[in-house]
Structure formats: structure tokens, C-alpha cells
Homo-oligomer: A and B are copies of this chain.
Amino acid sequence: MLSQVVELIENKNSFAITTHVRPDGDGVGSSLGLCWLLKSLGKEAEVIVRDEIPPSYRQLPGADEIRKVSSIDREYDAVFVIECSNIDRPGIEKLEEQFVVNIDHHATCENFGTINWIDATASAVGEMIYNLCKAIGGRVSKEIAECVYMALVTDTGSFHFPNTTERTLKVASELVKVGVQPSRISEAVYNSYSWSRVALLQRVLATARRDTTGRIALMRQTLEMVEETGAVDGDNNGFVNMPLVAKEIVAAVYMREVQPGTYRVSLRSKGPINVARVAESFGGGGHKNAAGFRISGDWDEVESEIENRLKKAIEIAAESDPALEIESEYTLA
């Protein structure tokens, strides 16, 4: 509950803030935003994260001071855990011994904290940090604003995803009022890559093809491509979505070779097509329109099995939405 969080902050003095492994924009932005808020209230606070901060978020104010830790190594009155479904997600040892404040915007979040503040109506935890700032009577400084804006932009896909609400845009407007330059945040998010991303995309896109129904797009990323281009983690962000710009494409498969014969598969879909089910049938999971799993085997065989299960998922969805029906006479250009 928000009121418990406010009370805790008012009564305690030293805090750590952490988020999940492989931190994203909401994780980093919300953690830093909360850190700036706590400091502005005269508290001791620091952000601790297990993994490297991706380049896109390193330009945020305070990002330089984030400490990389794998185990709690000092005393805190409380540790805030941002955007984690369970206590293991931060990948930090001894966390379970702490006074944990769990802040998340996923309805499925476990109540693993001593205090749990879950708000599934928030587009991002960033929106909740803004609410906390208002509730506690803090001033939304430019630093807080930039961090929270980053959280909103990344978790709503630049205000594109269905989680974008009237409130999200209103908060964004208020953050711009206190000094955020939207174009600078976008530049950091989208243009912080190296040429390796372009080089990787060249190669991956060259493999893009449609299945025989013309409704499913498939792409491959080989180990060789990564080696040739010097691509790093994150260079392929969003590649899986690219074929979905075509209105006839309703599902996309991105197969990334992680070691010879083993693949990390990402699935995307539109509307009622449930790729979480497909991923689950392969031992993975995710959301209705975005899911994934890991699999080993012969590339062509594995791909063909994924294709078959996706076609079934499209057929099931077509029962409720005839526009999705696969035309058997469809011919590829």
C-alpha cells in the first residue's frame, strides 16, 4: 500500500533500491527516480543492481553512481525492490533477510515484501514513483522527472502499447513541464547503439521470410552473424517486431542461436492470437502477444514445429475473428 510506503520513508533513514537482472528502462528509471526522491527528503539512498546498466540508461542522472552488487554487503533500514515478480528476480543474495518493500505494476506479482505496493493500473512503476512523490509532498525535480519519463517511455513503447492511459500522458506532460526534453530521452533510448546493430539487422533481415500461409514471418540470428558484426546484448532489440509492420503478418518468430543447436525463440502476435500458449507448449511462457522459450535440435525441424503450432494458434483465434482465417489459395509474391 502507498500509505505504508510513505510512512516507512518518513520514519526510516537508510535505503537501498534494486531491480531485476538485465534491467530495463522502467527498472533503472524508477530506481533512480526513487533514489533522487529519497535524497531530496534528506535520506541516505543508493541503487544497487546485479547486472550492467544498458547504454541507453547510462545517461540518466545518477546512473554513474549505481553500484553493481551480487550480495547485500551493508546495513539498510529497508530495501526497495522495483518491478520484480518475486524475491529472486534481482539476483542479489541475502535480499530475503532485509526489510523488503516490493513495488510493482504487474497484477501477477507475488507479495514477497514486508510491504507490498502493487498497482496494476500503472503503465510503469515510474508512474507509481511519480504518485509517491506527490503523496509524500516531494518536489518533482528535473532529475526525478527525467528518470520517471524514461520509465514511462520504455514501458509503454513510446506511448504505443495498450497500457498507455490518460494518466500516463498526463504525468508525462507534467514531467515535461519541470524540464524533461522528450527528444533527448528518445535519443538515449533509440540512438545509443553502435553500427553493430545496423550490421546485425542487415544479416538477420536477409533471412526474413513468410511461411506458406503468408501470415507468419520467420527470422534467424546465427552465432556467425554475431561474430561477424561484433553485436552485443540488446543490439537486436525490437527486430522481432519488424515484420509485423505488414498488415497480413499476424505472428512473428525470431530464432536466436545461443550455442550450436540451441536457440532462444521469441514469438510475437497481433490481436487475439495467443503466443503465450504456444511458448508454454515448448516449456516457455510470456504474455498473449509476446512470449518466448529455449529449445535444442535441428534448426529446420524445430522451426517447422513452431510454424505448425503457430498455425493452430491462428486457427483458434480465427474462430472468434474471421479476418484471421488462413486462405488456402494464398500465393507468395
Residues of A within 8 A of B (CB): 158-162, 164-170, 172-174, 176-177, 181-183, 186, 190-199, 201-202, 205-206, 208, 210, 214, 217, 229-230, 242-249, 270, 333
Contact B208 A198 (CB under 8 A): yes
CB-CB < 8 A to A201: which residues of B? 205, 242
Within the complex, the shortest CB–CB distance from A207 to chain B, in Å, comes to 9
Q: For A195, what are the chain B residues with a Cβ–Cβ distance below 8 Å?
A: 210, 214, 243, 246, 248-249, 333
Cα–Cα, bound, A186→B158 (Å): 10
Contact in complex: B245, A197 (CB < 8 Å):
yes
Bound Cα distance A26, B43 (Å): 47
In the assembled complex, the CB of A226 is this many whole angstroms from the nearest CB of chain B, namely 13
From B159, B217, B245, B247, A159 is in contact (CB under 8 Å) with: B159
Interchain residue pairs with CB less than 8 A apart (5) = A161-B182, A166-B176, A172-B173, A194-B248, A198-B217
Q: Give the chain B neighbours of A270 by CB distance below 8 A.
A: 191
The smallest C-beta distance from A190 to any residue of chain B, in angstroms, reads 6
Query: CB distance A245 to B198 under 8 Å?
Result: yes
Q: A194-B247, A242-B198, A245-B190 are in contact. Are A160 and B158 (CB under 8 A)?
A: yes
Q: Which residue of B lies closest to A191 (CB)?
A: B245
- Which chain B residues border A217 with CB–CB below 8 Å? 198
Closest CB in chain B relative to A268 CB, distance in Å: 11
Please give the count of copies of this chain that the complex contains: 2
A70 to chain B, nearest CB (A): 30
A58 to chain B, nearest CB (A): 12
* Cβ contact within 8 Å between A161 and B183: yes
Instruction: Name A230's closest neighbour in chain B (CB-CB).
Output: B333
Other than the given A169-B176, A191-B245, A205-B205, 14 more pairs (CB < 8 A) read: A158-B159, A159-B182, A161-B183, A162-B183, A164-B182, A169-B170, A191-B247, A193-B245, A193-B246, A194-B248, A196-B333, A198-B242, A198-B243, A201-B242
Query: Would B243 and A192 count as touching, CB distance under 8 A?
Result: no
Q: CB distance B165 to A176 under 8 Å?
A: yes
Instruction: Decide: A183 near B169, CB < 8 A? Known: A202-B205, A244-B191, A246-B197.
Output: no
Shortest distance in angstroms between A154's beta carbon and chain B's nearest beta carbon? 13
CB <8 Å contact, A246 and B194: yes
CB contact under 8 A between A186 and B170, given known A191-B247, A243-B198? no
